[in-house]
Amino acid sequence: MTLTPYLIVAALLFAIGLGIALTRRNAILVLIGIELMLNAANLNLIAFWRFGPHPELMTGMLFALFSIAVAAAEASVGLGLVIAWYRHSKTTDLDEMARMKG
Amino acid sequence: MLGEGILKGLGETARNFVGSFVSEDRLTTVEYPEQRLLPIENTRDFPFLVYDGADPDAGLRCVSCQICEKECPPKCIYIVKSTDKKPDYVGKPQFYPARFDIDISVCMSCQICVEVCPFEAIKMDTEFELSTDDRFGGLILDKHKLAKSNEHFQRIHPTEAAEVDARLAEEKEKVEAKAKAAAEAAAAKTAAESAAAKTAAESAARKAEDGSSGSDAEGVKP
Amino acid sequence: MNSATLDQFFVLLQHHLSALFPTVLQPWVSMILGVVGIVAVFPAIFALTTVLERKGLGRMQNRLGPNRVGPFGILQPIADAIKSLTKEDIVPRSADDVVHFLAPVVLVVAIFLGYAVLPVGRNMVLLNIDAGILLFFAVGASTELSIFMAGWSSRNKYSLLGAMRAVAQMISYEVPLLLAAVVAVMMAGSLAPTAIVQAQGGFTGIFPHWYVFTPWGFAGFALFVVAALAETNRSPFDLPEGESELVAGYFTEYSGFKFALFFLGEYLGMMSIAGYGITLFLGGWGAPFSFLTFIPSWAWFFAKLFLAIFFFIWLRGTLPRLRQDQLMNFAWKFMLPLSLLNLCVAAAWRFLGECLGSGTVAEVMRWLVCAAVLVLAYILLARTLLRRQNIRPRSYRYAD
Amino acid sequence: MMEGFIFGLLAILTLVGALAAAVLRNLVHCALSLSVTFVGLALMYLSLGAQFVGLSQILVYIGAVAILVVFAILLTRGAGALTPHRLIAAAGWRLGWIASVAVGFVLIFALVRSPLPASGDQAAKVTVLQIGQALMGPYVLPLEVVAILLTVALIGAVIVAMPEDQKEMR
C-alpha cells in the first residue's frame, strides 16, 4: 500500500463532510459534517505518520489522538448549543435560526 | 454502617440458598402435577351435574326444568328435554335432559345456575385442568362430561354437600312419610272401600245375576 | 499426562490441528480454531448459566427452580433454544426494519469481539495485542449504540425509554468502570491483559499477588463490580429492562431468535466483564494458593468465572431495583469521586513503596495508610450523601 | 494484494457511510451511518498499525460522539417523522454541493500530482508503552492543555444545555 489512496479517501471524506455542513438545514447534521471533516484530517495525520519518514517519532499519531480529544470537546459543546437553541426557539433549522441576525 | 443492609440481605439469601437444600420445610412450593394442594373449600370454577348412586344416567338429579338455561347470563347452557320420564330420587317420574351442554369458554362462573336450581342438580366444580387443543369442541362439555357423582361433590365441598344431603334426605323422608301416610290413608281407604266394595260386590253379585257387567268394580281394585 | 501438558492441553491441540494444514494456511487455521473455541465455549456457559441462574434464584426464594427437562432440569436451555428458534419472528409494522434487524447482530458481534483479547489460560488468548483492555472498553462502548438502535427502531415508547435509560446508565457507569480498571493497568504498567495477569503471578508465602489483596486493588475491584453490574444492566441496576415498568425495555418488540440474541448478548456481556474483572484484579488464570498451581490455568479461570457468575446471581436474588435518580446520583456523586481518589491512592502506593523501602514495617505502614485513606473517604462521602438524601422511614400517606 | 482488498473494503464502508449521512432524510439514520463511517475509519487506523488511535477512535466516536449526536437528535425531536423534502437542504444547497465537489476535486488533483513518499514498508511497531511515555514526556504540555480543554468543555456544555430556570435558581 502507498500513501496516495489513503489521502484520496481522506479528501473524499472531507468533501462529503463539507457538503453536509454546507447543504443540510439541520444544525445537528452540520455538526456531523464538521466531525467528518475532522475525521478526514485525522486519517491524513495517521496516514502521513505511517508512510512518513519517521514513524518512530509518533508525531502524527499523537496529533491524531489530541485531535480526537478536541473533536469530542467540540461535539459536546456544539450539541449543547444546539439543544440550548432548540429550547429557546423550538427548532434546529439553520435557515430559521437566521433570525438571530436581526 | 454503609452497605450493612446489602450484606445483611446477602446473608439472608445465602441462608435461603443453603437452607433450601438442607431442609424440605423451607420449600414453599409443591411440584404440581405429582403433588397438589387441596383446593380451599370455597373454590369454584365451572358447573357440573350431580348424580346419585352409581349410574350417571339413571341417577342424574336434573329434571330438565330449564330454569338454569333461562337464567344463565351469558347463555352458555343448552338443554334438550327428554320425551319420556324416569323416576327421580324419590321415585316420582320426571323428565331428564336428553342433552345438557355447557360451553365453558362462555361460562363466566357466576354460579347463578346453582342458585336457581330447585333440585340441587347443578353445582360448582373445582376442576381447573381444562386446557384442550380444540378451541371450540373441546370446551363444550356434554352431559357425560358434566355428570359427576355426589361423592365427588362431598369431597370437593364437604360442608355444602352435607347441607344438601341433609335437606334432600329430609325431603325424601317427608315425601316418604307423606307417601306412607298417603299409603296408610289409601290402605285405610281401600280397607273401607273394600268393605264397601264387598257390600257393593255382594249387591253387584246380586245384580250380576241379573246379567249386567261388573266393570266399575274392577276400577276400585287397589 | 503431567500437569504442564494438561495446562497447555488446548494450546497444543490447536497447534497440532493447525499443523495438519499447509504452512500458508496455518496461521489462519489456528486463528479460526481459536474463534471456534470462543464461540463454542462461552455460549455453552451462557446456556448453563441461564438454568443455573433460574435454579439459584429459586433456591434463594425457597423454591426448586426448573427441574422438568432432563435430570434436574439441566436440559432446560435446549428446550428454550428450540422454543426461541421456532417462535414467530415479529417485527412491528411501523418499525425500522433494517435497524431493527441489525441491532441484535451488532450487539452480539461487538460482545464477541471483546472475548478476542481475554486470556482464559496460560498462552490461551486469541489476540495478544498491546491495547487489549482498551479494545474491551471500545467494544463495550459500541454495545450502547446497538441498544439505542434496538430501542429506537421498535417505535415503541417502552423500547425507547428503556434504550435511553440503558444508554444513560451505561455512559454514566463507564466512567467509574474505566477509572477502576485504570488502577490495575497503572500498576501492571501495561494495557495488555496477559501482562496484567503476569504481573499478578507471584506468591508471597502461599498467597498470590493479586491486586484485590491491596487496599487500592480492593477498592478498585469493588468499584469495578458495581460498575460492571450497571454496565451489563444486571439487577439491581436493571432499570433499562425493568419488567414492572417497561415491559422488557429495549427488547420489548423482539421475539424469537432476535430476542434470544439479545439474551445471549446480555449474558455474554456479563461473562466478558466478569472475565476482565478476574483478569484485572483476581489474578486471571493464576491459582489462589501456591500449592495449587498444579491445577491447569484454564480450570482456575473458569472456576473464577463461575464464582463471579454466582455472585451476580446472588446479588440479583438479593437487591431490589434502584430508582433512576438514585442510579445517577450514585454514579456521579459516589462512584466517580471514589474511583478518582482510588487512582490517587494507587499512585501514592507506588510512591510510598519507593520512599519507604521494602521492609515488613514499611509494607504494613503503606498498607495501613492507603487503606485508612480509602475507608475514611468511603465513610465521609457516604455519610454526606446519605444526610443530603434525607432518608426517613417510608410513609404510606398516599396509600392510606 | 490482501492489504489492498481490505483497504478497498474499508474505503467503501467509510465513504458509503459518509454519503448516506449526507443524503438520508431520517436524522437517526444519518447518525447511524455516521457511526459506520467512524467504524470504517477506526478499522483503517488499525490496518495502518495505529492500534491505540484506532481503539480510541471507537471508544470516543462510537461510545461518546455518536451517542451524543443521537441524544441531541432525540432531545430536539428530530427523530419523529421524516423531514419533508423541501426542508432537508439549506437555502443555497446547490452552491454548497458545487463548492464541496470542487474542493474534493482540487484536493485529489493536488494529491495525484504531488510527489509523495511511496515507501512505508518499514512498519514501525509502536507500543502503547511508547505512546504513554511520549504523552508523559515531550507531549505533556499538550496533554494538560487537552485535559483543561475537556474539563472546560464538559462544564461549558452542561451550563449551555441547562434549562434557563435552573440557571436562575443557582
Query: B29 to chain C nearest CA, in Å?
Result: 6
Residue C42 inside a domain? The answer is yes
- High-pLDDT (> 70) share of chain A, %: 88
pLDDT tens per residue, range B78-124: 988 888 888 776 677 888 888 888 888 888 988 898 889 888 888 88
- Asked if C146 and C266 count as a contact pair (C-beta separation under 8 A), the reply is no
Tell me if chain A has a CB within 8 Å of the CB of D65: yes
Quickly count helices (H) and strands (E) in chain C. Answer: 15, 2
Give the number of C-alpha atoms closer than 13 A to the C-alpha of residue C118, restricted to the C-beta side. 27
User: For residue B141, what are the β-bridge partners?
Assistant: B102
Q: Is the pLDDT of residue B12 over 60?
A: yes
Any idea what the Cα angle at residue D164 is, between residues D161 and D168, rounded to 5°? 125
| A28-51 mean pLDDT | 87
Interface test with A, best of D68, D94, D95, D155 (most A CBs within 10 A): D68
Residue D27 inside a domain? The answer is yes
* Average pLDDT taken over every residue of chain C: 84
pLDDT of residue D148: 92
* Average pLDDT taken over every residue of chain B: 80
> Is the Cβ pair A95, D111 closer than 8 Å?
no
Neighboring chain C residues of D58 at a CB cutoff of 8 Å: 138-139, 141-142
> Is the Cβ pair B29, C63 closer than 8 Å?
yes
Residue C395 inside a domain? The answer is no
Q: Which of B90, B83, B55, B84 is nearest to B169 (CA)?
A: B90
Nearest-Cα residue of chain A relative to residue D102: A15
pLDDT tens per residue, range C65-90: 888 887 888 888 888 888 888 888 88
> Which set of grid coordinates corresponds to residue A3?
500513501
Nearest-Cα residue of chain C relative to residue D62: C142
pLDDT of residue A7: 86
Which residues, including other chains, have CB under 8 Å from residue C67's CB and lie 6 or more apart?
Answer: B31, C55, C73
DSSP code for B97: E
pLDDT of residue C31: 82
> Alpha-carbon distance A36 to A25, whole Å?
17
pLDDT of residue C361: 78
Q: Do the chains B and A touch each other, judged by at least 3 C-beta pairs below 8 angstroms?
A: no
Which residues, numbered 68 to 97 in chain D, qualify as contacts with chain C under a Cβ-Cβ cut-off of 8 Å?
70-71, 74, 79
> Alpha-carbon distance B65 to B58, whole Å?
17
Consecutive H or E run containing B102? strand B97-103
Consecutive H or E run containing A22? helix A3-23
The domain boundary residue, chosen from D80, D109, D136: D80
The domains of chain B are located at 47-156, 161-204
Q: Fold for domain A4-100?
A: Helix Hairpins (1.10.287)
Consecutive H or E run containing B81? strand B77-81
Q: Is the pLDDT of residue D168 over 60?
A: no
Q: Which of C236, C317, C66, C73 is nearest to B16 (CA)?
A: C317
Neighboring chain C residues of B19 at a CB cutoff of 8 Å: 62
pLDDT tens per residue, range C198-212: 888 878 877 888 888
Query: D169 to chain A nearest CA, in Å?
Result: 17
Range of the domain at C138: 3-389
Backbone φ, ψ for residue B115 (5° rounding)? -60, -40
Consecutive H or E run containing D70? helix D67-75
Chains that touch D (3 or more CB pairs under 8 A): A, C
Q: Is the pLDDT of residue C298 over 80?
A: yes
SS3 C354: helix
pLDDT tens per residue, range D67-82: 888 888 887 776 555 5
Tell me if chain C has a CB within 8 Å of the CB of B34: no
> Alpha-carbon distance C86 to C90, whole Å?
12
- Asked if C296 and C7 count as a contact pair (C-beta separation under 8 A), the reply is yes
SS3 A93: strand
Neighboring chain D residues of A24 at a CB cutoff of 8 Å: 22, 88-90
Question: Please, what is the angle between helix C215-231 and helix C297-318, to 10°?
Answer: 60
Tell me how many residue pairs between chain A and chain D have CB atoms under 8 A apart: 244
Other beta carbons less than 10 A from residue C60's beta carbon: 24
Residue C399 inside a domain? The answer is no
Tell me if chain C has a CB within 8 Å of the CB of B14: yes
> Alpha-carbon distance C290 to C206, whole Å?
5
Q: Is the pLDDT of residue D122 over 60?
A: no
- Asked if C276 and C232 count as a contact pair (C-beta separation under 8 A), the reply is no
Neighboring chain B residues of C60 at a CB cutoff of 8 Å: 13, 16-17, 20
> Alpha-carbon distance C258 to C108, whole Å?
10
Residue D25 inside a domain? The answer is yes
Distances (CA, A) of C285 to C63, C192, C289: 34, 15, 12
Query: C59 to chain B nearest CA, in Å?
Result: 5
> Alpha-carbon distance D43 to B63, whole Å?
85
| pLDDT band, very low/low/confident/very high, at B51 (cuts 50, 70, 90) | confident
Q: Where are the alpha helices (DSSP H) in chain B?
A: 4-22, 56-59, 67-71, 112-116, 143-146, 150-156, 158-208, 215-219
Tell me if chain D has a CB within 8 Å of the CB of C171: yes
> Alpha-carbon distance C381 to C111, whole Å?
34
Q: Is the pLDDT of residue B213 over 50?
A: no
Distances (CA, A) of B81 to A74, B95, B101, C35, C115: 87, 7, 12, 75, 75
> Is the Cβ pair D129, C148 closer than 8 Å?
no
The domains of chain A are located at 4-100
Other beta carbons less than 10 A from residue B132's beta carbon: 12
> Is the Cβ pair B10, C314 closer than 8 Å?
yes
> Is the Cβ pair B20, C59 closer than 8 Å?
yes
DSSP code for D6: H
Q: Which of D15, D93, D119 sits opposite A12 (nearest CB)?
A: D15
pLDDT of residue B216: 47
DSSP code for D65: I
**What's the gap between Cα D82 and its chain centre?**
24
Query: D132 to chain A nearest CA, in Å?
Result: 10
- High-pLDDT (> 70) share of chain B, %: 87
Residue B139, amino acid: L
Distance in angstroms between the alpha carbons of the first and the last residue of chain D:
62
| pLDDT band, very low/low/confident/very high, at B221 (cuts 50, 70, 90) | very low
> Alpha-carbon distance B81 to B96, whole Å?
6
Tally of domains in chain D: 2
pLDDT of residue B214: 44
| C54-68 mean pLDDT | 86
Residue D95 inside a domain? The answer is no
> Which set of grid coordinates corresponds to residue D136?
508523559
Give the number of C-alpha atoms closer than 13 A to the C-alpha of residue B128, restricted to the C-beta side. 11
pLDDT tens per residue, range C359-399: 777 778 888 888 888 888 888 888 887 777 666 666 676 66
Tell me if chain A has a CB within 8 Å of the CB of D87: yes
Consecutive H or E run containing C224? helix C215-231
| A53-62 mean pLDDT | 79
Q: Is the pLDDT of residue B14 over 80?
A: yes
| C150-156 mean pLDDT | 85
Burial, B133: exposed, middle or buried (Cβ in 10 Å; 0-12, 13-18, 19+)? exposed
CATH of the domain at D56: 1.20.120.1200
pLDDT of residue C224: 92
> Is the Cβ pair C59, B31 closer than 8 Å?
no
- High-pLDDT (> 70) share of chain D, %: 81
pLDDT of residue A1: 66
Nearest-Cα residue of chain B relative to residue C375: B2
ipTM score assigned to the predicted complex = 0.75
Tell me how many residue pairs between chain C and chain D have CB atoms under 8 A apart: 69
Neighboring chain C residues of B28 at a CB cutoff of 8 Å: 62-63
Range of the domain at D62: 1-80
Tell me if chain D has a CB within 8 Å of the CB of C82: no
- Asked if C340 and C350 count as a contact pair (C-beta separation under 8 A), the reply is no
| pLDDT band, very low/low/confident/very high, at B220 (cuts 50, 70, 90) | very low
Burial, B86: exposed, middle or buried (Cβ in 10 Å; 0-12, 13-18, 19+)? middle
Q: Which of C149, C277, C160, C260 is nearest to C210 (CA)?
A: C277
Nearest-Cα residue of chain A relative to residue D125: A56
Residue C394 inside a domain? The answer is no
CA dihedral over C83, C84, C89, C90, signed as positive or negative: positive
| D97-116 mean pLDDT | 83
| C45-62 mean pLDDT | 88
SS3 D112: helix
Q: Does domain B47-156 have CATH number 3.30.70.3270?
A: yes
pTM of the model as a whole = 0.80
Residue C251 inside a domain? The answer is yes
Neighboring chain C residues of B10 at a CB cutoff of 8 Å: 314-315, 318
Tell me if chain C has a CB within 8 Å of the CB of D47: no
B207 or B51, greater pLDDT: B51
C116 or D117, greater pLDDT: C116
> Alpha-carbon distance C114 to D58, whole Å?
13
Query: C9 to chain D nearest CA, in Å?
Result: 30
